[in-house]
Amino acid sequence: MKIEKVNENRIRITFNHSDLQENNIDVHSFMSNSIESQSLFLTMLDEAEREVGFITDNYKLSIEAIALSNGTFIITVTRIEKEVLKSTRVQAHRKTVTAINHTLIYQFANFDDFCNFSNFLSVSLPNLVDKLSETNSLYQYHDCFFLILQNIEDSYSIALSSAISEFAVPIQNSDLMIHKIKECGKLVTQNVLHK
Which residues constitute the domain of residue 146? 103-190
Whether residue 113 sits in one domain with residue 167: yes
Whether residue 186 sits in one domain with residue 113: yes
Whether residue 56 sits in one domain with residue 109: no
H helical segments located in 103-173: 111-124, 126-129, 154-164
What's the CA gap between 11 and 188, in Å, rounded? 47
Closest by CA to 118, choosing from 89, 138, 92, is 138
Q: Which residues contact 157 (CB under 8 A, 6 or more apart)?
A: 97, 98, 99, 104
Q: What is the pLDDT of residue 100?
A: 43
Question: Which of 87, 114, 129 is a domain's end point?
Answer: 87
Paired sense of beta strands 133-141 and 103-108, if any: unpaired
What's the CA gap between 79 and 15, in Å, rounded? 20
What's the CA gap between 96 and 122, in Å, rounded? 24
Q: What is the pLDDT of residue 95?
A: 47
H helical segments located in the chain: 17-22, 27-31, 35-52, 82-87, 111-124, 126-129, 154-164, 174-184
Region 152-167 average pLDDT: 70
74, pLDDT greater than 90: no
145, pLDDT greater than 90: yes
Asked if residue 26 belongs to a domain, the reply is: yes
Range with the lowest mean pLDDT among 9-23, 85-99, 136-150, 164-178?
Answer: 85-99
Paired sense of beta strands 10-15 and 144-152, if any: unpaired
Asked if residue 94 belongs to a domain, the reply is: no
pTM strictly above 0.85:
no
Strand partners, 14: 2, 74
Tell me which amino acid residue 60 is.
K
- Cα 5 to chain centroid distance, Å, stands at 23
Whether residue 126 sits in one domain with residue 170: yes
Whether residue 132 sits in one domain with residue 108: yes
